[in-house]
Amino acid sequence: AQSVTQLGSHVSVSEGALVLLRCNYSSSVPPYLFWYVQYPNQGLQLLLKYTSAATLVKGINGFEAEFKKSETSFHLTKPSAHMSDAAEYFCAVSHTGTASKLTFGTGTRLQVTL
Amino acid sequence: GAVVSQHPSWVICKSGTSVKIECRSLDFQATTMFWYRQFPKQSLMLMATSNEGSKATYEQGVEKDKFLINHASLTLSTLTVTSAHPEDSSFYICSATGDYGYTFGSGTRLTVV
- B6, B49, B105 member nearest A101 (Cβ): B49
Average pLDDT over residues A50-74: 93
Which residues on A lie below 8 Å from B10 (Cβ)?
Answer: 41
Strand, helix or coil for residue B88: helix
pLDDT in tens, B22-32: 999 998 888 89
Q: What are the φ and ψ backbone dihedral angles of A15, each rounded to 5 degrees?
A: -60, 130
Nearest CA of chain A to the CA of B16: how many Å? 25
Q: Hey, is the C-beta of A40 within 8 angstroms of any chain B C-beta?
A: no
pLDDT in tens, B40-98: 888 899 999 998 888 899 999 999 999 999 988 889 999 999 999 999 999 999 999 87
Which residues on A lie below 8 Å from B9 (Cβ)?
Answer: 41
Question: How far apart, in whole angstroms, are the C-alpha atoms of residue A9 and residue A90?
Answer: 10
Q: DSSP secondary structure string, A7-65?
A: S-SEEEEETTS-EEE--EEEESS--EEEEEEE-TT--EEEEEEE-SS-SEEE-GGG-EE
